[in-house]
Amino acid sequence: MSGTIRPADTAAVWRKAFRAADFVNPNTPTRSVYDFLDDNDRDLLLWLALHGMQPREIAWVLKQDYIPASYDIPDQTHLANLRVLVEEVVGELAWGDDGEEQPGALVDRLVARDDTLNWSPYYLRKALDYAAATTSTTNDAEVRAKLRDRAKEKLALNKWRVTHGGQDPRPGSTRESKQYLAALQGLEREEEVAQDLEKAGHVAGSHVAEKALMLEWLSKIRQAGGFPGLPA
pLDDT for 178: 82
User: Can you tell me the distance from the alpha carbon of 109 to that of 93, in angstroms, rounded to the nearest whole number?
Assistant: 13
Contact 94, 218 (CB under 8 A): yes
At 32, the pLDDT band (50, 70, 90 cuts) reads very low
User: Can you tell me the distance from the alpha carbon of 96 to that of 98, in angstroms, rounded to the nearest whole number?
Assistant: 5
For residue 224, pLDDT over 90 is answered with: yes
Highest mean pLDDT among 8-12, 31-35, 61-65: 61-65
What residue type is 137 in one-letter code?
A: T
For 62-115, how does the pLDDT look when each residue is reduced to its tens digit (9 = 90+)? 888 766 655 566 778 878 888 888 988 899 899 987 778 999 999 999 999 999
At 231, the pLDDT band (50, 70, 90 cuts) reads low
Which residue, among 59, 103, 108, 104, has the nearest Cα to 222 in the 3D structure? 103
**Which residues 6+ apart lie within 8 Å of 143 measured at CB?**
130, 133, 134, 137
Which 8-state DSSP code applies to residue 171? T
Lowest average pLDDT, out of 94-98, 163-167, 220-224, goes to 94-98
What are the φ/ψ torsions at residue 206 (nearest 5 degrees)?
A: -145, 140
For residue 157, pLDDT over 80 is answered with: yes
